[in-house]
Chain A
Amino acid sequence: MFPRPRLAGITFAIAGLLAPSAAFSHAALIEAETAQAIRLHAYYDTGTPMADAQVIIYAPDRPAVPWGQGNTDSEGRFTFIPDTVEGRWSVQVRQAGHGAMAHIELHGETATVLAPTVAAGSWVQRAVMVALVAWGALGTALFVLRRKGRPDASA
């Protein structure tokens, strides 16, 4: 048997050990690690961002079943961290019947965007394309008429 003062000392010591463990049983813990993320920016060819558009992600091993879903922010941006499955990840962004698909080839630490889906181009390029189409269409029309013996469009 312990003498009374010594017993009290042992009791306090046990209480002192238990109290902190009870206080930390609901504590929040953070474990931090780095990961490779893919960041998208979806916008219309006028430059307007696709704000709050739906994003559907397909992993390489199950291309018909969505791996993840979400929404773009007000600037049309969306970020996700793919898991370790290597191969072609596909991401569709859609809104009101409009949208685009991006493909990202993932191999280890290397991620390659395979095809930008927006066929953009500067205004100069577009103007040249319009001029060429106009030239081709009208030229063909006049050629057809000339072969028929019509000198011009008003004949």
Chain B
Amino acid sequence: MHLPDGIVPVEMALAGYGASAALAALALARVKALPDPQAEIPRVAMLTTVFFAASLVAVPVPPVSVHLMLGGLMGVMLGWFSVPAILVGLFLQAVLFGHGGITTLGLNGMIFCLPALMAFGLWQLAGRRWPDLVALAAGSGAVLMALAIFAAIVLVGLPVVVDAGAERVALSIFLIAHLPLAMAEGVIVMTLLRVLRRVEPRLLPHG
């Protein structure tokens, strides 16, 4: 679910860069305020790599195929660190795999970072009390939120020459095909946190 080059108008792409830059600045300011931000770097590096590679895992959901997003996992595990981590991962995906465009990097940043921060907020709010339920909701909710932002950007940026009706139908099929992914990502976040609680609690989120 990456916007490629040439799909949205230039003005929207520039606005996306502006919004992502503002979000990154806010996130870095929050990271800087942490007691020992450098201690988090190995976790950030590891999860950036996981996020980067996840887009290669394609699951066929006829008539389309979907790939893992892991925005919820990034948000729960990394908190504000998830913003720079996701932006770096998206840049590498665009350059090395052609997943998403360079001009749309800012918009793709918003599609992935905002759901990650939502998942982080959810985890901080109730993660200690109901870890499994919140992990499930954070993973699934992040996918659903990303889908909503993606669809809104595509529809707002639809050029006049494009058949809007046909694009809406195609977009609906695309969104429905991602519903199983939303469930799957919820289960992934829940399972991973359970495993970490047993095996390596030091890697758990500190929310």
Residues in chain A within 8 A of chain B (CB atoms): 44-46, 48, 51-54, 56, 66, 69, 71, 92, 94-101, 117-121, 126, 129-130, 133-134, 137-138, 140-142, 144-145, 148, 150, 153-155
Contacts and interface: CB of A to CB of B under 8 A. Distances in A.
A92 to B, nearest CB: 6
A137 B42 CA distance: 8
A116 B43 CA distance: 37
A138 B49 contact: yes
Interface in B33-81: 38-39, 41-46, 48-49, 52-53, 56, 58, 60, 63-65
- Classify the secondary structure of A's interface with B: mixed
Nearest to B89: A133
Contacts of A133: 49, 52-53, 92, 96
5 contacts: A71-B166, A99-B7, A117-B98, A129-B96, A153-B43
A98 B42 contact: no
A126 B56 contact: yes
Given A99-B6, A99-B7, A137 B46 contact: yes
B205 interface: no
Interface residue tally on B, bucketed by range: 35 or more
A95 to B, nearest CB: 5
A5 B96 CA distance: 93
Given A48-B64, A97-B151, A99-B7, A141 B45 contact: yes
Given A99-B6, A126-B97, A133-B92, A46 B58 contact: yes
B162 interface: yes
Contact of B45 (A45, A66, A140): A140
B65 A46 contact: yes
Interface in B120-177: 150-151, 153-154, 161-163, 166-167, 170-171, 173-174
Given A96-B170, A138-B42, A56 B6 contact: no
B202 interface: yes
Contact of A118 (B41, B98, B161): B98
B117 interface: no
A126 B96 CA distance: 8
A45 B53 CA distance: 15
A130 B202 contact: no
A97 B65 contact: no
Given A96-B173, A97-B7, A138-B45, A56 B167 contact: no
Contacts of A56: 161-162
Q: Sort A-B residue pairs by CB-CB distance and give the 7 closest, nearest first.
A: A119-B98, A153-B42, A141-B45, A97-B154, A96-B174, A96-B170, A137-B45
